Structures are given as C-alpha cells and as structure tokens.
C-alpha cells in the first residue's frame, strides 16, 4: 500500500518538489491550504505532511504557528530546498512576445530584476505552480509564468530563462509532520529540538527563562513570539535549540525554563539537515 504525504499547493510547487526528493516512493497529495494539509494528516487521509516553515528571504511562513501548537502533530524531520524559479510559457513564446508574467506574490517579489529589465506586467496568482497551469490553459504567447522547473514538466511549458530569482541564497526550510512522535536517538549526530512555551507575566521572565540555555552552553537557533487568545499579555514562543532533551545541557536548560514559563510542549526531536553544517562553515 502506497504511503501518502500531503503538501500545500498545486502539482509542480516547491513543496511538491521537496516531497519528490525525499519521499520518492510516496504519493504526494496536493492540498489547497495549509489547513487542508493538517486536516489530511489528522484524519488519516495522509501519513505525513510537508510544510514550509521558514524562507531565507521572506522569513517565517505565515499561518503555520496557528496550526502547529494545537494540531497534535509532531515534527519528525527537516529538509532545506534551494528555491529556483524559471520563466516559462507555452511553445512558441519568446522573450519578445511576453507582456504579462504570472506567479505568487512572493515569487514576483523575489524575481523583480527580470520583470523590470523586460518591462513585464506582473500578475499575482494564488500559487507558483498554479500560475504555470493557468498559463498552459491560456495558450497565449503573451502570457508567461515564474514557477519552479517541475511545473514546466508537468504542464508542458517551455523554459525561457532559468534561475531568474534575484538572490541565489533563496532557501526554504520544510518540516515533516507526523501524528506519531518519533524522536531521533541521542548521540548519533546533530539533533534539533523544537518546542513551544508561554512566559509567565512577570518582570524579566523571558530573560530569566532563556538564561538557562546560555549558562548550559545550548545554542538556540530560533525564537519567535506570537500573541495567543487575543491578549496582549499572553505570549507564546516557538523555539528551537541544537541538541537532544537527553543531553545534559539541554535537559538542565529545559528544567530551568519550566520555572518561569507555562505549557512547555516539545514539538519534535529530529535529525538536523546536513544543510545546517554547510551554511555554518
């Protein structure tokens, strides 16, 4: 029986690409929204979910922090994908025939140079791969799409220009979510621990809560705050550290964190993607 992994977007999206790279024998299931992705795994319609969580240019991916804490899903892996965009059109399209270019608003913003140089009119689409599908349906040589290379293969478009993104470091970090908590073993390579917590409404509570990570030599790689319950005094934090909860330093830091916080919840303990080591050199 083929296992299934859900992702947000249409076939040919970057999320589809990363599913194919790391789960080639699985059925990749496209979903219209992030909410649908979470629902697919929670209901058993898919075994895992592939979710983008950070981008090196755009920052954190909106909405994920709303779904993740209460979803009951766990982070079991992470993958980094170098984001590459191509300019593509139906057969017969040339740079001279193009008048409008379609893509997601973030992709258009990340490919301003080629749009400006050629005087294309940008048109916002709901999804990068969806833009390619729409251009294929238009069958109009004046319409082009900025989409991942995979979309050109799927929708029968010709690539007119490769790597049209302005920054060559454009990278998205994806996390794999599972209904089962599967922790990476301790002492068998670099590990990341993701967790959420609420800070007590006390003076210097956050400073004191995080002090244990510094004194125990634990490297914190992510700390993001979110308002919860519509209250300005109730703040939830999503944090990530290098190390395993069984490591002495991480264990002591989490114990100290508990004195100044409430509702600590470990979201996942998983192997660090080798990309982390590459970029830190």
* pLDDT over 80 at 162, yes or no: yes
CA 120/CA 153 separation, integer angstroms: 23
- Residues contacting residue 163 through CB under 8 Å, at least 6 positions apart: 84, 85, 86
User: Which is higher by pLDDT, 253 or 205?
Assistant: 253
Q: What is the per-residue pLDDT across 218-237, written as a single tens digit (0 to 9) for each?
A: 999 999 888 776 666 657 89
- Name the average pLDDT for the chain: 93
Q: What is the pLDDT of residue 280?
A: 67
Confidence tier at 201 by pLDDT (50, 70, 90): confident
**Highest-confidence segment of 105-114, 142-151, 235-244:** 142-151
Which residues are known to be catalytic? 172, 174
Report pLDDT digits (tens) over 34-86: 999 999 999 999 999 999 999 888 788 877 877 888 889 999 999 999 999 99
**pLDDT band, residue 211 (cuts 50/70/90):** very high
In three-state form (DSSP H/G/I as H, E/B as E, the rest C), the secondary structure along the chain is: CCCEEEEECCCCCHHHHHHHHHCCCCEEEEECCHHHHHHHHHCCCCCEEEEEEEECCCEECCCHHHHHHHHCCEEEEEEEEECCCEEEECCCCCCCCCCEEEEEHHHHHHCHHHHHHHCCEEEEECCHHHHHHHHHHHCCCCEEEEECHHHHHHHCCEEEECCCCCCCCCEEEEEEEECCCCCCCCCCCCEEEEEEEEECCCCCHHHHHHHHHHHCCCCEEEEEEEEECCEEEEEEEEEEEECCCCCHHHHHHHHHHHHHEEEEEEEEEEECCHHHHHHCC
Residue 9 has pLDDT above 80, yes or no: yes
Spatial distance between the Cα atoms of 232 and 224, rounded to a whole number of angstroms: 15
pTM more than 0.75: yes
262 pLDDT band, cuts 50/70/90, is: confident
């Amino acid at each position: 029986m083929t296992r299934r992994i859900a992702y947000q977007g249409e076939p040919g999206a970057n999320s589809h690409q990363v599913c194919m790279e790391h789960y080639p024998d699985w059925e990749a299931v496209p979903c219209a929204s992030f909410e649908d992705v979470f629902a697919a795994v929670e209901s058993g319609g898919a075994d895992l979910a592939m979710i983008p969580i950070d981008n090196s240019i755009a920052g954190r991916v909106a909405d994920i922090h709303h779904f993740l804490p209460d979803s009951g899903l766990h982070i079991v892996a992470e993958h980094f994908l170098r984001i590459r965009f191509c300019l593509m059109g139906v057969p017969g399209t040339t740079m001279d025939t193009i008048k409008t270019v379609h893509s997601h608003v973030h992709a258009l913003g990340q490919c301003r140079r080629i749009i400006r140089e050629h005087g294309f009119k940008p048109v916002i689409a709901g999804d990068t791969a969806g833009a390619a599908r729409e251009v294929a349906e238009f069958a109009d040589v004046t319409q082009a799409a900025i989409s991942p290379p995979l979309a050109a293969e799927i929708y029968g478009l010709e690539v007119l220009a490769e790597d049209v993104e302005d920054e060559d470091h454009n990278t998205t970090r994806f996390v794999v979510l599972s209904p089962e908590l599967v922790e990476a073993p301790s002492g068998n390579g670099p590990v990341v621990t993701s967790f959420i917590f609420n800070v007590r409404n006390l003076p210097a509570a956050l400073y004191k809560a995080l002090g244990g990570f510094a004194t125990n030599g634990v490297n914190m790689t992510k700390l993001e705050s979110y308002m919860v319950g519509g209250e300005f005094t109730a703040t939830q934090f999503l944090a990530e550290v290098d190390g395993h909860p069984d490591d002495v330093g991480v264990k002591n830091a989490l114990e100290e964190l508990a004195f100044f916080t409430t509702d600590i919840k470990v979201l996942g303990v998983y192997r660090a993607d080798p990309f982390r080591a590459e970029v830190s050199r």
